[in-house]
Amino acid sequence: MNLSRSRTLRLAGTLAAGSFAIWLSYQLSPGDRSLYTLMGLYAIVAIGLSLLIGFAGQISLGQGAFYALGAYTAGILTVGLDPDDRLVSEAGIDPALAVVAAPILTGLVAAVIGVPLLRLRGHYLAFATLALHLILLAAIFAQSGFTGGQDPGLAVIEPLEIFGLQITGVTGGTARHTAIVWGLVLVTLLVALNLVGSRAGRALQAIATSERTAAAAGINVSAYKLRLFVLSAGLAGLAGALYAFMLQFLSPDAFGVFLSIQFVVMVAVGGLGSVYGAVVGAVAITWLEHELRELGARPSLLGFDLPDQAPQVFSVGVFAVILIVVILFFPRGLLPALGDGIRRLRPVRHEN
């Protein structure tokens, strides 16, 4: 099979899978649709993070911060502020414009802080981005008049409308919101695939192989890393903005530090640098986290009474085990390892 035919089949398969994902948005019950929407939002974040880790070699534990920044940007712009920087209902801009502004602002913030942060490597960068998440959470709590804080929180009541079609709200259709989320997953996936196959993608692959060799070949390593950092942050900001209109309520409890770790686990499971794997990892881990929380919410398990903290303990414990197993035994990710195993099982063809 030649290369062009392989790309055509891959594109056709991607479009078919994306169309099915959008169609499925209208077939699910409201409860299942909420989980399905969250899967799509996390998939958008995971695609950007997979590119950042897989090609730029930058382990970021701050994607949850960019996700929260996008959510609060969209929420605050929609609600609006009075002259004293206090939240005022019905004083903001159009929700659709707020959704557009959120990834732009998030990308600008990433561009500013990325210059000093990306000088760090390995666990130093991971800790620095984790600190960024903690700083943002502290700011949300401290500036409660600006962000709503934890109590009363930020209510984004204004519905999201696109071209006169209501997407969220009581009279709108949440299925439309879910369909738009998965439509954006498809667009993000296609953009990422095009990036990987482009000249910039080849430069990123060279950087992933050896930064010194790439620099010797004339590739501006720092510039490519920064651009990828901004892209991944912008995607997280876009997903966060859409999340703000999913529940139409924001609280810092929804953006804990564990969220950033969860994004890393999704990428590790799907495979570093694998855009398809990022989507699979996001769907699998989101579903697993939901099931673990439901399991921990039971009054007892195997004859033992469960404490109130059981849902969170189950999630953290299982994800920690998954991350350790992947790092030790499947460094390329579970999905690539599964693909390698299937290829080994294929019978070898001997030419006469």
pLDDT digits (tens, 9 = 90+) for 223-246: 888 899 999 999 999 999 999 988
Q: How confident is the model at residue 86 (pLDDT cuts 50, 70, 90)?
A: low
- State the average pLDDT over residues 246-262: 87
pLDDT digits (tens, 9 = 90+) for 264-291: 889 988 887 788 989 999 999 999 888 8
Residue with tokens 């019905």: 90
Q: How confident is the model at residue 68 (pLDDT cuts 50, 70, 90)?
A: very high
- State the average pLDDT over residues 70-87: 75
Provide the mean pLDDT of the chain.
83
- State the average pLDDT over residues 98-122: 89
Domains in the chain: boundaries: 3-257
Bigger pLDDT: 136 or 6? 136
Query: Given a cut of 60, is residue 108 above it in pLDDT?
Result: yes
Query: Given a cut of 90, is residue 89 above it in pLDDT?
Result: no
Q: Could you tell me the two tokens for 227?
A: 């651009």
Q: What is the pLDDT of residue 251?
A: 87
Q: Could you tell me the two tokens for 7?
A: 């790309």
pLDDT digits (tens, 9 = 90+) for 109-118: 999 998 888 7
**Do the Cβ atoms of 114 and 229 come closer than 8 Å?**
yes
Query: Given a cut of 60, is residue 294 above it in pLDDT?
Result: yes
**Do the Cβ atoms of 48 and 236 come closer than 8 Å?**
yes
Q: Please name which of 207, 194, 235 lies closest in space to residue 46, comparing C-alpha atoms.
A: 235
Distances (CA, A) of 343 to 151, 313, 324, 349: 54, 37, 25, 12
**Do the Cβ atoms of 237 and 107 come closer than 8 Å?**
yes
pLDDT digits (tens, 9 = 90+) for 168-218: 764 445 888 999 999 999 999 999 988 888 888 888 888 877 778 888 888
Rounded Cα gap, residues 193 and 196, in angstroms: 5
- State the average pLDDT over residues 236-261: 89
Q: What is the pLDDT of residue 101?
A: 94
Rounded Cα gap, residues 44 and 189, in angstroms: 8
Q: How confident is the model at residue 253 (pLDDT cuts 50, 70, 90)?
A: confident
Q: What is the pLDDT of residue 304?
A: 67
- The distance in angstroms from the start CA to the end CA of the chain is 20
Q: How confident is the model at residue 16 (pLDDT cuts 50, 70, 90)?
A: very high
Count CB-CB contacts under 10 A for residue 131. Answer: 14
- State the average pLDDT over residues 28-32: 85
Q: How confident is the model at residue 87 (pLDDT cuts 50, 70, 90)?
A: low
Q: What is the pLDDT of residue 172?
A: 47
Count CB-CB contacts under 10 A for residue 195. Answer: 17
**Do the Cβ atoms of 234 and 104 come closer than 8 Å?**
yes
